[in-house]
Structure 1
Amino acid sequence: MRQRLIGGIGRLLAGLRSPPHAVLAHAVFPADEPLSTLPCVALDTETTGLNVLRDRIVSIGALRLSGGSRDNTPPLDYLVHPGIRIPARSSAIHGISDTDVAYAPSFALVAPSLLGYWQRRVLVGHNIAFDLAILRHEAERIRLPFHPPAAALDIGLLYAGLKPRVATITLEAIAADFGVTVDGRHTALGDAETAARIWSHLLPALSRLGVATLGTARSLMAKQRDLLHGQAGAGWAIGDLLPPHRGPQHEGAPHG
């Protein structure tokens, strides 16, 4: 854990030395942008709980992809001091305790590096609207401008559209269906790496369904109305998944 913290601080300081425009640069991808070459970032967070308004981030993991292939950019793997105590029930899931984050950087220090890492890329992850919501609230808490990614794709929603009769769309279930190995479950980088491996298998499966562009992928997610209603009701950032005025109203409970 100590080596992980030291390595994370080194990458953090390197990110803080990046020129400001690296954080502020934006990209707009057209609807016909091919998924096969889409520049992406697979991301996951571990938190003190599941309430996006109240709970805090304790770990962030991310890696860059080109289409379904990982590129040579080093991944992000940060422990983050949440500013509050980590409940024992949460530590039991992700294994991160108050002692582990005692000397970790705050979100304010990590944020510039993270926001720079995903700019000009599309975010990919499992239940990624949860991660985006809690990241946005962390930024608002410290009055930091939040620059969302160019777009975001949820592998759970896409998988639900690919296989509408499947009842379970947990990360483990999707990985098992595609024969993907799950390493480091409930660690931020481990789950991001699992999401990236699933993404590489999801791309050809979606293509066979006729979903081969960013626009068709977003349309397929928009059809998963029951799941989206649940995510919206939980306060997740579904507006970052769908085009404006396409998301459902905030009602219902999260699908789990």
Structure 2
Amino acid sequence: MPKETKLKPASGATLLIAIAAVAVDTETTGPDATKARVVQIGAIGIAHGKVVRETQLDLLIDPSEAIPSEASLVHGITDADVDGAGSFPDAWAQFQEFVGDRILVGHSIGFDLAVLERECRRARLPWKKPRALCVRLLATIANPNLADYSLETIAGWLRLGIEGRHSALGDAIAAGDIFATLIPELRKRNIRTLGEAEVACLALSDALEAGHRAGWAEPVSRPQAPAFQPVDPYAYRHRVGSLMSSPPVVVKSTEPTRQVIDLMVKRKISSVLVSECGTPDQAIEAYGIVTERDLLRRISSDAERAFDMPVGTLQRDR
């Protein structure tokens, strides 16, 4: 399985187009989140605002009980299909490894989170609610005038096709495509970052309450109020030079932006110097500088090409 570029864990300030995410869906033995058992998990990666179809997960799970015929009519999975399939703990381990610390994305993901938590509790596996976004809620924000917010209706509005409807992987791919296509629609409503998206979703109180009544988990995380902290005097007791890397990190102006982002993440730095030769031994006039903010602005304004553009096109002269 190809590995994706490793990025820093997302914060509330991370642009939606820059988050590393996984679109997920589950198929179950029924629609009641308080009773349903998971029979299939589908997941697919999202990076740089696009679904990465080369990295996907499709797992059948033996629920250790008969699958009702009415559920099989929906997703097509029968007792014979899961005969010999792995148990939930086996699938959960694979899913956790696949997801890592990425954000989860799904349609009505509160249902999926609820059934996954219940399965973990049943198997006595540790559970920590992952950070997540619901494309159903995001679509409600982006277009409050849709007749309904089913997967089909949202996909139709965005002119997206759905293949493999009611299979876990098919619905996960559809949710991922919807999320990627919603990013510019949300930007029109001044929702650009993960934190802004979470706050906007949490304002949809009617939709959240309906999910609570159905036994679903809350689909997004609530921002934590920052605790009061005294001012750290460190900055006032040290010279600027002691806080900088030495020698300075310099890259060639022809270096692709994607590689520069990887370097900054690896070195845990927020800016790089840029020059034609990429060495730190030139006169100061030979250098420009590229910061995290420069990168985020370029990604926001030109996501289609930003990662492959030479970093020299972003630099500010010094």
Runs of 4+ that moved beyond 6 A? none
Task: Say which of 161, 176, 181 aligns to 2:141.
Answer: 161
238, 241, 247: which one aligns with 2:220: 241
* TM-score normalized with structure 1 length: 0.81
Write the mapping of 1:95-134 to structure 2, written as runs, cut at 5 A: 95-134=76-115
Residue 62 of structure 2 contacts residue 84 of structure 2 at CA under 8 Å; is this kept in 1?
Answer: yes
5+ long unaligned stretches in structure 2: 2-7, 226-318
CA distance in 2, matches of 1:147, 1:40: 17
Structure 1 equivalent of residue 254 of structure 2: none
1:148 aligned to which of 129, 145, 148:
129
**TM-score of the superposed pair, with normalisation by structure 2:** 0.66
* Corresponding residue SS for 1:183: coil
AA of the residue aligned to 2:28: T
Query: Aligned to 1:74, what secondary structure does the other structure show?
Result: strand
The answer to whether 1:40 aligns with 2:21 is yes
Are 1:229 and 2:209 matched, yes or no?
A: yes
2:95 equivalent to 1:83: no
* Code of the aligned partner of 2:210: G
Kindly provide the amino acid, as one letter, of the partner of residue 165 in structure 1.
N
Q: In the aligned structure 2, how far is the partner of 1:72 from the partner of 1:93?
A: 25
Identity of aligned residues (%): 37
Displacement after TM superposition at 1:106 (Å): 0.8
What is the CA deviation profile of residues 188-238 of structure 1, one whole-angstrom value per residue up to 9, with x for unaligned ones? 000001111111110111111111100110011112111100001111110
Q: CA deviation at 1:30?
A: 2.1
Structure 1 distance, partners of 2:128, 2:98, is 11
Corresponding residue SS for 1:50 = coil
> Is residue 38–residue 122 contact of structure 1 (8 Å, CA) maintained in 2?
yes
8 Å Cα contact 1:115-1:147 kept in structure 2 = no
Amino acid at match of 1:84: E
Q: Deviations over 1:158-213 (max 9, x none)?
A: 11111222230000000000000010000000000111111111011111111110
RMSD value, Cα: 1.8
Aligned-partner Cα distance in 1 for 2:72–2:63: 13
Give me the whole-angstrom Cα distance separating, in 1, the residues matched to 2:115 and 2:53: 28
Residues in 1 aligned to 2:61 and 2:129: alpha-carbon distance in whole angstroms: 20
Q: CA deviation at 1:134?
A: 0.2
- Whether contact under 8 Å (1:132, 1:236) holds in the other structure is yes
1:107-161 CA-to-partner distances (Å, cap 9, x unmatched) read 0111111122222111001001110110000000010012332x10000001111
Structure 1 unpaired stretches of 5+: 1-10, 12-26, 247-256
Contact 2:44 2:53 in 1 (8 A): no
Residues 42, 168 of structure 2: 8 Å contact kept: yes
Give 1:1-16 correspondences, 5 Å limit.
Answer: none
Residue 72 of structure 1, CA deviation:
6.5
**Which residue identity lines up with residue 170 of structure 1 in the other structure?**
S
Aligned twin of 1:171: 151
> Residues 223 and 67 (structure 1 numbering): CA distance in 2 closer, same or farther, change over 3 Å?
farther
8 Å contact kept, 1:49–1:56: yes
2:119 matches 1:138: yes
Contact 2:113 2:217 in 1 (8 A): yes
Name the count of aligned residue pairs: 219
The structure whose RCO (Cα within 8 Å, separation 6+) is larger is 1
Match of 1:169, SS state, is coil
TM-aligned CA deviation for residue 31 of structure 1: 1.4
Task: Work out whether residues 51 and 180 of structure 2, in 8 Å CA contact, stay in contact via their aligned partners in 1.
Answer: no
CA distance in 2 between counterparts of 1:68 and 1:39 reads 9
Query: Does 2:174 correspond to 1:194?
Result: yes
Query: Contact 2:88–2:119 (CA<8 Å) still a contact in 1?
Result: yes
Distance 2:166 2:212 in 1: 23
